[in-house]
Amino acid sequence: MCGDGVVEGDETCDDGNAMPGDGCQECERDSTVFITSEVYQGFALGGLYGADQRCQSLAAKAGLQHFLTFKAWLSTPSMSVADRFRHSRGRYVLVNGLVVAGLG
């Protein structure tokens, strides 16, 4: 719930107040991304769900916060990456600080 001061669910930020229309849903927060050193065969991943499970496992092993929110940056003919990821006004940033994608 936007305004409760806790980032949860689909929120990328929370300004800690219940004032509607004050920009709580429009604030920016960077999304952390990482590149794995593991090698996988696409057909052996178990679909997007299996790929996401591997991604979350690797994020947990790396000690990344909120590891259960990570998803594999993959798509299928019926599901695009854009439809799989939560969008925010923030940037996608590698764990080393390099910006992968951002606004504008």
Average pLDDT of each block of 10 consecutive residues along the chain (104 residues)? 65 64 62 89 91 95 90 92 78 89 69
Check residue 2 and give its pLDDT: 62
Check residue 51 and give its pLDDT: 95
pLDDT by residue (tens digit) across 63-84?
A: 998 899 899 999 999 999 888 8
61 backbone dihedrals φ, ψ, rounded to 5° = -60, -30
pTM of model > 0.75: no
Please, how many CA atoms are within 13 Å of residue 99, restricted to the half-sphere of its CB?
8
Q: What is the largest CA-CA distance in the chain?
A: 48
Q: How far is CA 91 from the centre of its chain?
A: 10
